[in-house]
Structure 1
Amino acid sequence: MTTSRRGFLKVALGTGVVASGLNGTSAAADPPPHSSDQTRVPLDHIGIQLYTVRKLMATDPQGTLNALGTMGYATVGVSGLYGHAPEKFRDMMDTAGVRAVLTHTSWDAMNADVQRELEIAGILGVRYVVVPSLPGSLRTVAGYTHVAAKFQEWGTRCRSAGRKFLFHNHDVDFATVDGKVLFDILLERTDARFVNFELDLYWIVKAGYDPVAYFERHPGRFPVYHVKDMAADGSFEDLGHGTIDFPRIFARYAQSGIREYVVEHDTPRDPLLTARRGQEYLAKVRF
């Protein structure tokens, strides 16, 4: 790590976040990076989750990151370091001209050593530390109530370190258990100063829920989207080639609190083609 980067991290780790009220006023989130009359995705906030290109990252991480930067991606979401030290991974991203805005850790890793996860996040330079899934054993009202308490704890630690804590949803998080939607427990039992959400648009739609309805009930709590499309048969599809009405969702940018648009596809046949289609769609879509 260079001296200048150490200096940057020292400043970043000491940076506080302005406090706001409980449970999701829009003031709790950063202001969206859109102008008041904007009808397009800001180009410097278009990213891709590296999980989409994980097979390529495993064999040629620098070449893959270079290709993504050449396509026009400004940012990436980190999905593991592929055997590299965080300092080396940061150097590869710098070389490719992309910046990491988030890193996916895990429930187990955060329980084991929050401080280490925050140190890695600092080296990578990310804004958001994300838990992307939960153990199935927690899929009860009591389990998600426990999760909410842990998220509060981790979110407080993230805020103290100049980071922000997010949870990424799957469709199972919208299961109704004992009359309660599990995802709603996380929203209602956490403070928007400390806990917010990376909303996977495919999985919320797959579960039968409307993202816009969640923006209306919990404004400002969704600073990151996983922009993932759905085929007519309900499977994954390249962005812009499926059925999800993204312009309708994107038009609510001020209400959602969105800052980062992150392309993802779980099972792409041609990862770089999928990546290119995703960047091109987000660069041209209007809403």
Structure 2
Amino acid sequence: MTLSQLSPAIGLQLYTLRELMQQDLPGTLAAVAAMGYKNVEFAGYFKHPPAHISKLLDQQGLSAPSAHVAPHRLLHRPELALDEAAEAGHKYLVLAWWEETLRTENGYYQLADLLNDVGQLAQTRGLKLAYHNHDFEFSALSNFTPYDFLLAQTNPDYVCYELDLYWAVHAGRNPMDLFVEHPGRFALLHAKDMDSSGGETDIGNGQIDFAKLLGHLPLDAVQYLFVERDEPEAALASAALGLSRLNEILNP
């Protein structure tokens, strides 16, 4: 089976364009569609109701299979967060951060329980809950490494993972090892490149060999691969370049 036959759908994490989204969300979605994107991942609705988000997406021929959610929303009002995600038309709701004060052994036990509990609630609404990593989850505590602990302690029926390839590599972990050790757990991926200083850069301009990496990862379980850049110098250009580079690799 070829790489293209196993390819996940390419999308854009809209956090890359957050300043533009804040100024003009409908216009920004139109610009993303004009680039050739078909899928986007939200990181906030910028005061637009979920039903309006769904309408705007339909107008541009876009799909938003996934959205990020802040920890406090799952800790305090998970039902509302899930209902809004369903109304907006998402398939995945992704917890993309864990507060620094909670990055303790007890805090990660709390996180595992939260993911399992909300993941079970999500399933009743036809959604899947996912967790997105940065690099701090790979820093070992006294008794365990948080990311390995979360993978072991969460129920695969309720919780999947969005693996940020840059942050995993930045932390010194090989994504291939994670895929081999935890088959089927990674439904979503984030892609951004790493420059010589360890910072972020556009895909294809850094040290991560995405052609080699994506050519060796077992991608059959991955549904979506999202382009992202946290602090782009030129956000629209970065988004367009990411789509072009990944299409060259996945859909030659």
Tell whether the structures are fold-level matches, with TM greater than 0.5.
yes
Aligned partners of 1:229 and 1:240 also within 8 Å: yes
Which residue, out of 98, 118, 136, partners 2:62? 98
Q: Deviations over 1:14-69 (max 9, x none)?
A: xxxxxxxxxxxxxxxxxxxxxx32347748x1100100001111111111111111
Residue ranges of structure 2 left out of the alignment (5+ in a row)? none
Q: Distance in 1 between matches of 2:178 and 2:188?
A: 14
Runs of 4+ residues deviating >6 angstroms: none
CA–CA separation in structure 2 for the residues paired with 1:147 and 1:252: 31
Q: Report the Cα distance in structure 2 between the residues aligned to 1:219 and 1:136, rounded to whole angstroms.
A: 29
Which one of 236, 243, 248 corresponds to residue 207 of structure 2? 243
1:100-179 matches, within 5 Å, as 100-179=64-143
Shift of residue 114 of structure 1? Answer: 1.2
Which residue type is aligned with residue 136 of structure 1?
E
Aligned to 1:49: 13
Identity across aligned pairs (percent)? 33
Q: How far did 1:256 drift?
A: 6.7
Return the letter of the residue paired with 1:197. Answer: Y
Instruction: Report the Cα distance in structure 1 between the residues aligned to 2:58 and 2:23, rounded to whole angstroms.
Output: 19
Structure 1 segment 213-228 matched on structure 2, within 5 A: 213-228=177-192
Question: TM-score w.r.t. structure 1 length?
Answer: 0.83
Alignment of 1:1-287 (within 5 A): 36-39=1-4, 42=7, 45-254=9-218, 257-286=221-250
SS in 2 for 1:77: strand
Tell me how far apart the structure 2 counterparts of residues 252 and 153 of structure 1 sit (CA, whole Å): 33
What CA RMSD, in Å, does the superposition of the two structures yield over aligned residues?
1.7
Q: Is the 8 A contact 1:40 1:284 kept in 2?
A: no
What code does the residue aligned with 1:267 have?
E
- Matched to 1:283, the amino acid is N
Query: What amino acid is the match of 2:206?
Result: G
Q: Would the aligned equivalents of 2:179 and 2:218 in 1 still touch at CA under 8 Å?
A: no
The 2-side partners of 1:249 and 1:163 are apart by 29
**Distance (Å, rounded) in 2 between the aligned partners of 1:270 and 1:96:** 22
- Aligned residue number for residue 7 of structure 1: none
Is the CA contact (8 Å cut-off) linking 2:193 and 2:201 kept in structure 1? Answer: yes
3-state SS of paired residue (1:129) = strand
Structure 2 Cα separation of the partners of residues 230 and 141 of structure 1: 29
* Residues 40 and 285, structure 1, Cα contact 8 Å, conserved in 2: no
Task: State how far apart, in whole Å, the 2-side matches of 1:85 and 1:161 are.
Answer: 19
2 CA distance for matches of 1:139 and 1:96? Answer: 40
CA contact (8 A) 1:53 1:271 kept: yes
